[in-house]
């Protein structure tokens, strides 16, 4: 198998790729011991069959530079094809400062082509490429060298079958006129903000047990310190302290090292040194936080007034539209969004873009009494109601 270990060899295959309409790509990485992913392997294939024109690029090889690959990622004439691209794109953005474009994500494309919600690569290989995958190397240490024959075969399969899947889905999308649906879904993936974690916003991912003012101030400051520390030292958040320990600290608000040592959930390493000092500084900052800066947790569950009959009609309409379009219901609208629509809310993803075309616009007309639902054979259809 062809493993690329030098910059010159990489430049040669990237020059060849620059004349092709697309390349298929995948990465293998490790993240268990670091904050940022450690890139261990890049797989790339050009249009062809089998292992023909497919390579494994070794970023761990001595002296290799990935600059030719990064230049290819910037080439506007070559489509970069991934499956479930988010983590792959994060690596290219963090390590190389580039987001591959133009982009095609076969997982996103498959969602609007009748393959359900978040179809796995193995499913698409079986259904589209009519092949099977050898999964024996799925859980493996990709940093070890040399790579075994089994590892190499497994890694190459992630880009060789992808060629068939891409060509099939691309044709399907052109036939069903849903290219703009896919483009909308890709906007998040191609935005740099998707891959930047701001320490000041880290509190938003914490599932809190309460929402009191000083408690939430402490959650914000403790999450901010943890994120900043983890990023600067390139260690996992959980190595600093876990969420349960963060919530305990936000509740007890230790003011000194003696109080900090009474924590039940804090790791031993966090009870001293820079982490301990950072925790105590975060607690002091939380206590001094101005009331207007304290984060507020949105809690609409007790306030939302749902019309249950209308919500049920929306569920019936959603199911009918999902079945007729071949798009998974959850991809179009969640149950909570249906309840929100029935309660009069309008700033929702299911009412915008392609979701609005497929479902949202008519959902609003149903709410406004302009449409009704009716049975026609074994189908549910919408019927125009006369204007009052």
Query: Peptide bond preceding 146: is omega within 30 degrees of 0, i.e. cis?
Result: yes
Pair 218, 276 in one domain: yes
pLDDT exceeds 90 at position 297: no
In whole angstroms, give the CA distance from residue 349 to residue 360: 9
Q: Coil, helix or strand for 174? A: helix
Same-domain status, 247 and 224: yes
Query: How many residues does the structure list for the chain?
Result: 388
226 and 147 housed in the same domain: no
Q: What is the pLDDT of residue 209?
A: 75
Share of the chain above pLDDT 70, in %: 98
Half-sphere exposure of 334 (CA within 13 A, CB side): 5
| Residue 261 clears pLDDT 70, i.e. is over it | yes
Counting Cα atoms < 13 Å in the Cβ hemisphere of 227 gives 17
Range name among 64-73, 121-130, 193-202, 209-218 with the lowest pLDDT average: 209-218
Alpha carbon of 113 to those of 119, 165, 326, 328: distances in Å?
A: 11, 12, 7, 10
What number of other Cβ atoms are within 10 A of residue 319's Cβ?
12
The whole-angstrom separation of Cα 111 and Cα 324 is 14
**Are 334 and 275 part of one and the same domain?**
no
User: Lowest mean pLDDT: which of 121-135, 205-219, 266-280?
Assistant: 205-219
Q: Are residues 253 and 159 in the same domain?
A: no
Helix (H, G, I), strand (E, B) or coil at 78: coil
The Cα–Cα gap between 67 and 327 comes to 39
Assess whether 142 and 93 both reside in one domain. yes
pLDDT in tens, 144-197: 999 999 999 999 999 999 999 999 999 999 999 999 999 999 999 999 999 999
Last residue of a domain, one of 161, 195, 229: 195
Predicted local distance difference test score (pLDDT) of residue 210: 72
**Segment holding 79, helix H or strand E:** strand 79-82
Q: What is the overall mean pLDDT for the chain?
A: 93
Those residues whose C-beta lies under 8 Å from the C-beta of residue 64, and which sit 6 or more positions away, are 4, 5, 6, 7, 10, 58
Tell me which of 195, 227, 246 is where a domain ends: 195
Does pLDDT of 53 surpass 50?
Answer: yes
Among 293, 317, 346, the domain boundary falls at: 293
**Is-contact 282 225, C-beta < 8 A?**
yes
pLDDT exceeds 60 at position 301: no
Residues 104 and 53 in one domain: yes
Task: Write down the pLDDT at residue 228.
Answer: 98
Cβ contact 230:240 at 8 Å:
yes
CA within 13 Å, CB half, 250:
29
pLDDT of 293 higher than 50: yes
Note whether 128 and 168 are within 8 A (CB): yes
The pLDDT of residue 299: 55
What 3 state SS string does 259-328 have? HHCCCCCCCHHHHCHHHHHHHHHHHHHHHHCCHHHCCCCCCCCCCCCCCHHHHHHHHHHHHHHHHHHCCC
Residues 10 and 126 both lie in one domain: yes
How far is residue 284's CA from residue 282's CA, in Å, rounded to a whole number? 5
8 A C-beta contact, residue 317 and residue 359: yes
DSSP reduced 3-state for 339: helix
- pLDDT greater than 60 at residue 130: yes
Q: What is the mean predicted confidence (pLDDT) over 247-272?
A: 94
CATH number for position 326: 1.10.150
Residue 254: phi and psi, rounded to 5, are -60, 140
pLDDT at 303: 58
Q: Is the peptide bond before 102 cis (omega within 30 degrees of 0)?
A: yes
pLDDT reported for residue 387: 80
Burial class of residue 288, CB neighbours in 10 A (0-12, 13-18, 19+): exposed
Q: Is 90 exceeded by the pLDDT of residue 227?
A: yes
> Into how many domains does the chain fold?
3
Q: Give the pLDDT mean for 365-384.
A: 93
Range of the domain at 190: 3-195
Q: What is the CATH number of the domain that holds 277?
A: 1.10.150.80
Q: Are 224 and 200 in contact (CB under 8 A)?
A: yes
What is the rounded radius of gyration, in angstroms, for the C-alpha atoms of the chain?
A: 25
Q: What is the CATH number of the domain that holds 149?
A: 3.30.420.10
Whether 116 maps to a domain, the answer reads: yes
* Mean pLDDT computed over 270-290: 96
């Amino acid at each position: 198998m062809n493993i690329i270990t030098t910059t010159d060899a990489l430049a040669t295959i990237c020059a060849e790729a620059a004349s092709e309409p697309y390349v298929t790509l995948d990465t293998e990485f490790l993240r268990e011991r670091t904050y940022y992913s450690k890139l261990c392997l890049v797989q790339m294939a050009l249009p062809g069959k089998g292992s023909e024109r497919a390579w494994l690029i070794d970023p761990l090889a001595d002296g290799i530079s990935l600059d030719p690959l990064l230049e290819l990622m910037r080439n506007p004439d070559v489509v970069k094809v991934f499956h479930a691209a988010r983590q792959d794109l994060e690596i290219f953005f963090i390590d190389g400062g580039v987001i591959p474009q133009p982009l095609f994500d076969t997982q996103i494309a498959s969602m609007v082509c009748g393959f359900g919600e978040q179809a796995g690569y193995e499913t698409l290989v079986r259904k589209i490429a009519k092949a099977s995958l050898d999964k024996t190397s799925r859980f493996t240490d990709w940093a070890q060298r040399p790579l075994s024959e089994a590892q190499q075969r497994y890694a190459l399969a992630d880009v060789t079958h992808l060629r068939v899947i891409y060509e099939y889905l691309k044709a399907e999308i052109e036939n069903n006129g849903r290219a703009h649906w896919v483009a909308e879904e890709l906007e998040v993936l191609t935005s740099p903000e998707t891959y930047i974690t701001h320490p000041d916003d880290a509190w938003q991912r914490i599932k809190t047990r309460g929402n009191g003012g000083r408690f939430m101030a402490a959650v914000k400051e403790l999450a901010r310190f943890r994120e900043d520390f983890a990023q600067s030292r390139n260690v996992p958040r959980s190595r600093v302290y876990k969420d349960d320990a963060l919530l305990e600290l936000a509740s007890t608000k230790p003011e000194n090292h003696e109080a900090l040592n009474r924590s039940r959930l804090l790791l031993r390493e966090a009870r001293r040194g820079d982490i301990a000092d950072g925790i105590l500084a975060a607690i002091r900052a939380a206590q001094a936080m101005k009331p207007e800066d304290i984060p507020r947790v949105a809690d609409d569950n007790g306030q939302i007034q749902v019309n249950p009959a209308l919500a049920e009609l929306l569920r019936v309409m959603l199911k009918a539209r999902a079945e007729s379009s071949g798009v998974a219901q959850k991809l179009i609208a969640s149950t909570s969004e249906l309840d929100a629509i029935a309660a009069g809310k309008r700033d929702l993803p299911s009412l915008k873009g392609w979701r609005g075309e497929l479902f949202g616009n008519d959902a609003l007309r149903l709410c406004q009494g302009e449409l009704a639902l009716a049975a026609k054979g074994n189908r549910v259809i919408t019927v125009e109601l006369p204007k009052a």
